[in-house]
Structure 1
Amino acid sequence: MSAATEKEVHFSLKVMMHRESNKVLYSEIDSHFADVLLSFLTLPLGTIVRLLVKNYGDNAPILGSLSSLYAGLLNLDGSHFWTEAGKLMLLNPRNSSGDQCSRLKLQIDDTPPIQYFVCNNASCVNMYYKVKCLCGNSTDIIKLCKDSETKAQSGGESVFTVQTSSFLLTDDLQILPNSPTSLLRCLKQSGIEDTSVLEERTLIVGFEEIFELLKGSLASKTPLTDIILHSSSATSTPKRRKRLCASVNYEPEALPQTQTSKNTGSDSKITVKALVQKSTYRVLFAQTWQDFVDFLFSLLTIPLARVQLLLGDNNCLGSIYNLYRSTYDLETVKYIKSTETVTRLLEPNIPPYYLSCYQIFSLSQQRSPASNRGFAVGKGRSFKASPSSFSCSGMNVIDPKGQGSFVKGPTMFMVTDDLVVSSPSPFSIISTLNSMKIPVSDVEEHELDIGMEETLRILQATLTSTSALTNGLKPFLKRETKQ
C-alpha cells in the first residue's frame, strides 16, 4: 500500500465524553484499530524517533535523551563503524514483526521490509546491498526474493486481534473487551454516578491522528482527549504541540527497583570514566571506549514492548504501560489471535544480526531465513526462497554490521550528558566548563563499572530525561563517594 493510500485510510470512532470536563471516558474500536495501536509495541526506539522527526520536522517532540542520541548517531562519521550497513541498521532499525505490520489497515512505519542479496556465484547471502562479500565477489549482487514478496498482501483480515472482536479504548489507552462489565469498570474508575453528564461524539482518525496517538502514548496519560482538544482548538501552535510531548519531569526518587532478577543478561561490565561536577553530581562528559557507545546505539534497535519488559512495572512512558498490560490481561488475552501473537507483542525479538556482542540486556534475535532455508534460481536475475530447494549449508551468511558489533574499535569516544557521541575534544570540554561557569576545582573523575543495574537506570533516564547520564548514574556516583 502506497504512502498516499495510507494517508487516505480513516477510522470512525464513537467517543463518549464527559460534558463538563471535556475529557474522553472511552471510545469503541474494532479489531483493525486495536491492531494499529498494538503495533506501537513492536516499533524499535530508533524508528519512533525517525518517524516523529519525519512527520513533525522542526516541531518533533523531544523524547528524553533518545532524540539527541539519534541525532548524534546521524552526525557521527561513518568511519567509526565496521561497515556502512552497520550505521544504516542503527538509523533505520527493522521491526521483527514487520511482515505482520505490513498487513495493518493503516501503517505508520515506512521502514522497508528485510531483503536479502546474494553474490553472482551464490556463495554469500547478506541483508544489505553494499556489504562486501566474504568470497570477494562483490561486483555483481543479485536480489533474493522471499515467498512473502510474491504474495498479495491481505487487505481485510485482522493482524493481532481476533477479526470479529470489538473493544473499549480508555483515554489512557487501556484496551478492554466491549462488554457491560468493561463499561461499568470505566464508569466506576472515572467516578461517574450520573450518566446524563456524558455525551457521544464521533472522532475521525486518520494518518495524522495515529501519529498524534503514538506521540501521546509516550508522554501523556490522556492521549485521546489531547487529540480531540487539539482538533477543536483554533489557537494551537507548533510550539504548543511540541510541549505536549516534551520529556516528562525526571525525579531520581522515582527510579524503580531494578529488574536485575528478571533480566539476567550478560554478567560483563563496561568501564566508563565520567567527568563529574562534585557539588551537584552532574555528569558533564563520559570518556569511554567503543563498547559503551555500541551499547548506547543498540538501544535504538530495541522494540518498545521489550523496553517495557526490561523496566518492569515502572510506568515511565505515558500510556504505553497500559497498552502493554492490555495484551496480557486475562480478560483481553482471549481476543488475541494466538499464544505466539501474545509472545510476539509482549516479548518481541530483534531482527537477525542486530544483537551486538556488547549488549548487556537479555535480548534474543530472530533466526535469519538464510540460515535455515535453501534458495533456487528464479526468473531473470533474482533468487526465490523455497523450502524444497537445494541446501544453503555451503553458503556464507554475512553479518552486515561487521565484527559482531556496530562500532569499530579500539576507539575512544566522548559522550555528553544527553548522549551525544563524538570524538574526544578538549575544546568541547573547555567550552562547556566556560558556558556553565564551572571552575576546574569543582570537576573530578569517576571510574564506573557499568553492568545490568546501571544500564537499566540509564535506559529509563534516556527515555525520560535530557540528562541521561546524570540521572542514570547519580545513585552510583553518590554510593562511590560515600565509600
Structure 2
Amino acid sequence: MAAAATTTPSNTLTMKLLVDSRPLRQRVVFAEAGKDTVDFLFSLLSVPAGTSVKLLGKESMVGCTGNLYSSAERLEDPYVQPDAAKDDILCAAMMPPPAAARPNSWVFPLPEPAPAAPAPAPKKFFNCFYSYYYSGCSRYVAEVSGTRCPSCSNQMSRDANLIGSPSPVAKPERKGFVQGGMVVYTVTDDLVISPMSNVSTIALLNACGVRDFGTLQERTVQIGYKEGLEILKASLQSKTVLTDVFLGKKPPSSMKNGGSTPQLSNGRRHDSHTWRA
C-alpha cells in the first residue's frame, strides 16, 4: 500500500472486536471503541480526496478519482495558471482534523508546524517633555521620537509607558468530536457508530443471525498508521470494513477496478492482536 510520508506517528489506538468465528461466516459482528478511536474514524471525513489518492495509490482507487489525480499530475505547465501550484491539488496539506484531539486520535502524519515567528519588538511611545506642565501637551502621544508636539511645537522624545495592554488570548484546547469519559461506542462492520447500550447490542446480534454465543470471540486490535490506511481504503470500497481489515478478507468482487480486485492485507495479522474467549 502506498504511503506518502517517510515518518509515521508512534501513537496507536485500540478497538475491541466481537468476532463470529464460525468457519463459513467468520466476520466482525461489531466493535467496542472509546473516544480516541471514534474521533479518528470521524476524522477520516476530513481527509482531502487528493490526499487520499496519494496515500492509497492511484491504482487502488475505485471509481474515477485516480484518473482525476493522474490527469492533474500529467498536465503540462503551459496549461496551468502561472500562480497555481500542482501540489495544492495533488498534495493538499492535511491539517489537524477538527474531529481529532491530537495527539491521541490521529494516526496519519501531519506536516511539521512552521517555526514560530519571533515576537515583534514592543512598540515604543513618546510624549512631550512639557506634558507634566501643560495639559495641552499631555493629550498627545507619538510613535516616532522627535515628532513635533501639536500643542507647544517641542520635540516629543520622552518615553511614555503604555499600561492596560490586552493579554494574549489562549487557544482553546482541542477536545475532539465525541464525548469521552465513561461513554463507550459501538462500531458496526460498515462503520455505523452509536453509543453502546444493551438494547443496541442485542439488536446487532439478532441482525447478524447469531444464535450460538459460543461462536463469539473477543479480539483486541491496535490501529496504527498501516491499519489507519487500510481502514481509509476499505471505507471507500467496502461495506465490511472491520472484517476486511482485521480478518484479512478481500473486498467483494463487485468492487473491481480495471479487472483487478484490490487487496487490503495479505492474510491475517497476529502481531498486534490478542484473542480472548
TM-score, normalised to structure 1, is 0.36
Q: Is the 8 A contact 1:25 1:170 kept in 2?
A: yes
Q: Work out which of the two has the higher radius of gyration on C-alpha atoms and give 1 or 2.
A: 2
Shift of 1:28: 0.8
Identify which of 221, 224, 227 aligns with 2:242.
224
Q: Is the 8 A contact 2:100 2:175 kept in 1?
A: no
Q: Is the 8 A contact 1:32 1:104 kept in 2?
A: no
Q: Is the 8 A contact 1:218 1:245 kept in 2?
A: no
Q: 1:11, 1:100 → 2: CA distance? A: 15
SS at structure 1 position matched to 2:191: coil
Q: Is the 8 A contact 1:32 1:158 kept in 2?
A: no
Instruction: Quickly say closer, same or farther: Cα 1:179–1:101, change in 2 above 3 A.
Output: closer
SS at structure 1 position matched to 2:33: strand
Identify which of 163, 179, 182 aligns with 1:162.
179
Shift of 1:65: 1.5
Instruction: Quickly say closer, same or farther: Cα 1:217–1:169, change in 2 above 3 A.
Output: same
Instruction: Look up the equivalent residue of 2:77 and give its one-letter code.
Output: G
SS at structure 1 position matched to 2:86: helix
Shift of 1:112: 6.7
Identify which of 208, 211, 214 aligns with 2:232.
214
Instruction: Quickly say closer, same or farther: Cα 1:12–1:107, change in 2 above 3 A.
Output: closer
Q: Which residue of 1 aligns with 2:20?
A: 18
State how many pairs are aligned.
Answer: 200
Q: 1:183, 1:167 → 2: CA distance? A: 11
Output the aligned Cα RMSD. Answer: 3.8
Q: 1:172, 1:90 → 2: CA distance? A: 29
Q: Is the 8 A contact 1:51 1:109 kept in 2?
A: no
Any residues of structure 2 matched to 1:12-411 within 5 Å, and which? 12-20=14-22, 21-53=25-57, 60-94=59-93, 98=97, 101=100, 103-105=102-104, 106-108=106-108, 110=110, 158-164=175-181, 165-230=183-248, 246-247=256-257
Shift of 1:177: 0.8
Instruction: Look up the equivalent residue of 2:227 and give its one-letter code.
Output: E
Q: Is the 8 A contact 1:16 1:25 kept in 2?
A: yes
Q: 2:226, 2:85 → 1: CA distance? A: 31
Q: 2:199, 2:6 → 1: CA distance? A: 39
Shift of 1:227: 1.7
Q: Which residue of 1 aligns with 2:155?
A: none
Q: 1:31, 1:215 → 2: CA distance? A: 22
Q: Deviations over 1:47-97 (max 9, x none)?
A: 1111112xxxx8x51332111210121121122222354432212234676
Instruction: Quickly say closer, same or farther: Cα 1:245–1:114, change in 2 above 3 A.
Output: farther
Q: Is the 8 A contact 2:96 2:102 kept in 1?
A: no
Shift of 1:247: 3.8
Q: Is the 8 A contact 1:28 1:167 kept in 2?
A: yes
Shift of 1:206: 1.4
Q: Is the 8 A contact 1:62 1:246 kept in 2?
A: no
Instruction: Quickly say closer, same or farther: Cα 1:245–1:92, change in 2 above 3 A.
Output: farther
Q: Is the 8 A contact 1:43 1:95 kept in 2?
A: yes
Q: In structure 1, list runs of 5 or more residues that go unmatched.
A: 118-146, 234-239, 250-483
Greater fraction of residues in helix: 1
Q: Is the 8 A contact 2:100 2:177 kept in 1?
A: no
Q: 2:63, 2:55 → 1: CA distance? A: 16
Q: Percent identity?
A: 27
Q: 2:254, 2:13 → 1: CA distance? A: 23
Q: Is the 8 A contact 1:219 1:246 kept in 2?
A: no
Instruction: Look up the equivalent residue of 2:76 and give its one-letter code.
Output: D
SS at structure 1 position matched to 2:11: coil
Shift of 1:104: 4.8
Q: 1:77, 1:88 → 2: CA distance? A: 14
TM-score, normalised to structure 2, is 0.60
Q: Deviations over 1:408-460 (max 9, x none)?
A: xxxxxxxxxxxxxxxxxxxxxxxxxxxxxxxxxxxxxxxxxxxxxxxxxxxxx
Q: Deviations over 1:181-226 (max 9, x none)?
A: 2212211221223322211122222110111111000111111111
Q: In structure 2, list runs of 5 or more residues that go unmatched.
A: 118-167, 260-277
